[in-house]
Amino acid sequence: MAEPIRLAKRVAAMVPCSRREAEEYIEGGWVRVDGLVVHEPQHRVADEQRVELDTGAATANLEPVTLLLHKPVGANDQQALALLSPATHASDDDSGVRSVKRHFVRLVPLLPLPSQASGLAVFSQDGRIIRKLTEDALSIEQELIAQVTGTIMDNGLARLAHGLVYEGRPLPPIKVSWQNETRLRFALKGIPPWLVEWMCAQVGLRLTALKRIRIGRVPMAALPEGQWRYLRAGERF
């Protein structure tokens, strides 16, 4: 009986195509072994196993992706990363991106949220996105909804918008407004989300919940908690 061979070698002989093209078919999720998709080119297959190439298979290089997650309360960066899997992919994702195993490795968390906050979290493989959300972080507006208790001091809203000093440094001006009697909307540039709790305390309020709903021009919209979608081709932070 012949020894099992690498799946990429079997596909290359079957199509026929180059070994690199065969690897791209496999990594793109186009190849099935006995009816099941296999993503690893090094997977070993025996002669009697059935290997099939899906209709419409393409060998275009797999582009790096950016995933947008509705992070639940209590999840730190590593726990949020663990939520990124095919099982938690939002069913109404209209990005048109074909999900493959490669999309869940080497993801970099960007503009992290405090573990007790919820809302829009970004994880990317794309060097351009990583550079933008790292190097330009101070100039990207983040919109957050803060649930608060207590009574705001006189002129408190104006102080939040422009007037607080943190560790000897004046904070940048922000946009802040009441959504209702217990909810404040913050639009921040140059201020990390974890500082919102301190800001609220300076005007007599206690933060009880915080949710990020937008980063730059990218909204969280109706993304369900604990689920993710791909950044669409036309979306820009």
The CATH number assigned to the domain holding 146 equals 3.30.70.1560
Domain shared by 91 and 113, yes or no = yes
Reference 185, options 151, 235, 141, 223; nearest CA is: 141
List the domain range (segments joined by +) for residue 126: 70-136+219-230
Domain shared by 110 and 209, yes or no = no
Q: Which amino acid, one-letter code, is at 143?
A: E
Average pLDDT across the chain, whole number: 93
Reference 59, options 14, 101, 23; nearest CA is: 23
Structure tokens at 59: 């060998």
| pLDDT grade for 220, boundaries at 50, 70 and 90 | very high
Give pLDDT tens digits for 123-180: 999 999 999 999 999 999 999 999 999 999 999 999 999 989 999 999 999 999 999 9
Mean pLDDT (whole number) for 202-231: 97
Domain shared by 145 and 184, yes or no = yes
pLDDT at 31 over 90: no
Give pLDDT tens digits for 195-212: 999 999 999 999 999 999
Mean pLDDT (whole number) for 27-40: 87
Q: Which residues lie below 8 Å from residue 164, measured CB to CB, with a gap of 6+?
A: 170, 171, 199, 202
Which of 5-14, 117-126, 152-161 comes out lowest in average pLDDT? 5-14
Whether 112 is in a domain gets the answer yes
Domain shared by 159 and 211, yes or no = yes
Domain shared by 80 and 132, yes or no = yes
Domain shared by 128 and 78, yes or no = yes
Domain shared by 121 and 224, yes or no = yes
Whether 34 is in a domain gets the answer yes
Per-residue pLDDT, 111: 96
Give pLDDT tens digits for 58-98: 776 678 999 999 999 999 989 999 999 999 999 999 998 98
Three-state secondary structure string covering the chain:
CCCCEEHHHHHHHHCCCCHHHHHHHHHCCCEEECCEECCCCCCEECCCCCEEECCCCCCCCCCCCEEEEEECCCCCHHHHHHCCCHHHECCCCCCCCCCCHHHHCCCEEECCCCCCCEEEEEEECCHHHHHHHHHCHHHCCEEEEEEEEECCCCCHHHHHHCCCEECCEECCCCEEEEEECCEEEEEECCCCHHHHHHHHHCCCEEEEEEEEEEECCEECCCCCCCCEEECCCCCCC
CATH of the domain at 23: 3.10.290.10
Share of the chain above pLDDT 70, in %: 98
Whether this prediction's pTM lies above 0.85 is answered by no
Whether 181 is in a domain gets the answer yes
Whether 106 is in a domain gets the answer yes
Domain shared by 29 and 82, yes or no = no
Per-residue pLDDT, 60: 62
Domain shared by 209 and 224, yes or no = no
Indicate the number of domains in the chain.
3
| pLDDT grade for 44, boundaries at 50, 70 and 90 | very high
Domain shared by 98 and 116, yes or no = yes
Structure tokens at 182: 């217990």
